[in-house]
Amino acid sequence: MTTSERKLYLIKKIIETTDIDLLLKIKSLLEENNYVLSDEKPTEVNEPALKYEKNIRIFSPAEQRKIDQALREYENGECISDEEAQKEIQAWLED
């Protein structure tokens, strides 16, 4: 597949998708350029490169935003216990 063909294929898939998380991930990859370049091997998957400094994992801005949001939700009590979640799941499975 040529680069032009790959671009057209990706554009078509992006237009067809309704998955907002996927679209945000694509946007993040394109804007932050935090991905590993492949050697055009079709069996390899491009994943964001993990960044470490002195053996400490450094989160990308998108990852840090998600962590911050989760912490805010937890601090505001916008969560349920594991026990409550298990009860809800069990109720859904019984329906």
Per-residue pLDDT tens digits for 32-85: 776 666 555 544 455 566 788 888 888 888 889 999 999 999 999 999 989 999
Residue 18: band (very low, low, confident or very high) from pLDDT cuts 50, 70, 90: very high
- Read off the amino acid at residue 66: K
The whole-number average pLDDT for the span 4-14 is 89
Model pTM score: 0.40
pLDDT at position 95 over 60? yes
Count CB atoms within 10 A of the CB of residue 21. 8
- Read off the amino acid at residue 34: N
pLDDT at position 44: 46
| 3-state secondary structure (DSSP) of residue 18 | coil
| Strand blocks (E) in the chain | 51-53, 56-58
Lookup result for tokens 């400094």: 53
Tell me the backbone φ, ψ of residue 80, rounded to 5 degrees. -125, 160
